[in-house]
Structure 1
Amino acid sequence: MTLPHPLKVILGAGTQRWPGWIPTQREDLDLLSRRGFEVWFGERHADAFLCEHVWEHLSEEEGREAAGLCFDFLKPGGWLRCAVPDGHFPDPAYQRVVQVGGPGPADHPAADHKVLYTASRFRDVFEQAGFEVELLEYCDEVGRFHFHQWDVHSGPIYRSLLLDHRNREGHLGFVSLILDARKPA
């Protein structure tokens, strides 16, 4: 397979398609398979990874392993934009939907959630892998929402303040904990 330059890869894309990004699923790039990454990338390294609402489907230990794998397959100066449900978002209905184990039947998207991250816990996963981390959107310990300006076009996250249809006219209907993890140059 001929890979484009710059090499920007969506991990666990589902139905997401963004211009300039290669969508992958677990069958293509399993976040827990170093061998799979070696085969897919060959001698190349990614310029950027994008991953929306995937990390919560891994245990925290698996998430740390996946962060290390992404670090190893990024170019120096490359980055990973990652979003997960926010454990501090103060909406009880949201928390029921994103809780570990999820509500309802086994085919519900949250049924296999294994961890609900807070900003400090999620940041630590990536810092321990060697990344420099910037929080882009998150709720703090008292539920206050924080937004740090980021460029949607550099790596879109649908479930964000800027893109999600549920966030309109000053109302936060659905937020994510979003961070950029940059590999030092």
Structure 2
Amino acid sequence: MKIILGAGKTAFEGWVSTQEEDLDILDRQDFEKQFQENSIEAMLAEHVWEHMTKEEGIVAAKHCYDFLKAGGYIRVAVPDSNFRNEWYQNMIKVGGPGPIDHPAYTHKIVYDYKNLVDVFEKAGFEVELLEYCDESGKFHYKYWNEQDGKIGRSFRFDTRNSLENLGMVSLIIDAKKPLIIQG
């Protein structure tokens, strides 16, 4: 089973799309009603974690960890606080640029790669950075397979990007549940 969290209109063959009203990732009971622990192969969350505080993000990551199979993963994309683009930073800032119906209105945090990795490591995951900007704004990219969870707002798939110009990037990670749990 593969789950898209906060899918919006995103739908991929072989993946189950969910919205907050279907599966509130902050509510463990929502998971328990629908899934067994250690039963989900993969999860995908594109621009979901910035709508929670860092502390809530850790809780949500722990819930995902508990319901993923050993060796399972969650691919997560969030806006990148280190991307050097004034328009972009204004669009993604906490509280958004306004008005109240703008998607960023409910942003509670803007992550850099260190903070996002920390959230998922605290939940027990092994984290691999796929796309991110470092402190100097330099963009880093590691090839990833879209069959494992396609991120639309990414270097390869956002039409605002080219080899000469980055227009829209995300901080993207794969957080993997270890095959052997230490404890």
Identify the match of residue 44 of structure 2 among 50, 70, 75: 50
Q: How many residues align?
A: 179
Query: Normalized against structure 1, the TM-score is what?
Result: 0.94
Taking the aligned partners of 2:166 and 2:21, their CA distance within structure 1 comes to: 34
Aligned match of 1:19? 13
- 1:111 pairs with one of 94, 105, 111: 105
Whether contact under 8 Å (2:96, 2:104) holds in the other structure is yes
The SS at the match of 1:110 is helix
Kindly indicate whether the alpha-carbon contact (under 8 Å) linking 2:38 and 2:70 is maintained by their aligned counterparts in 1.
Answer: no
Q: Look up the equivalent residue of 2:111 and give its one-letter code.
A: Y
In the TM superposition, 1:13-162 aligns within 5 A as 13-42=7-36, 45-162=39-156
Distance 1:57 1:9 in 2: 18
1:43 is displaced (CA, Å) by: 6.0
Determine the structure 1 residue equivalent to 2:164. 170
Q: What is residue 3 of structure 1 aligned with on the other side?
A: none
Question: In the superposition, relative to structure 1, how do residues 160 and 148 fare at CA in structure 2: closer, same or farther (>3 Å)?
Answer: same
Identity %: 55
TM-score (norm 2): 0.95
- Deviation of residue 170 (structure 1)? 2.5
Query: For 1:43-100, what per-residue CA distance to the aligned partner results, in whole angstroms no more than 9, with x for missing partners?
Result: 6611000000000000111001000000000000000000000000000110000000
Q: Which amino acid aligns with 2:91?
A: V
Q: CA RMSD in A?
A: 1.0
Unaligned runs of 5+ in 1: 1-6
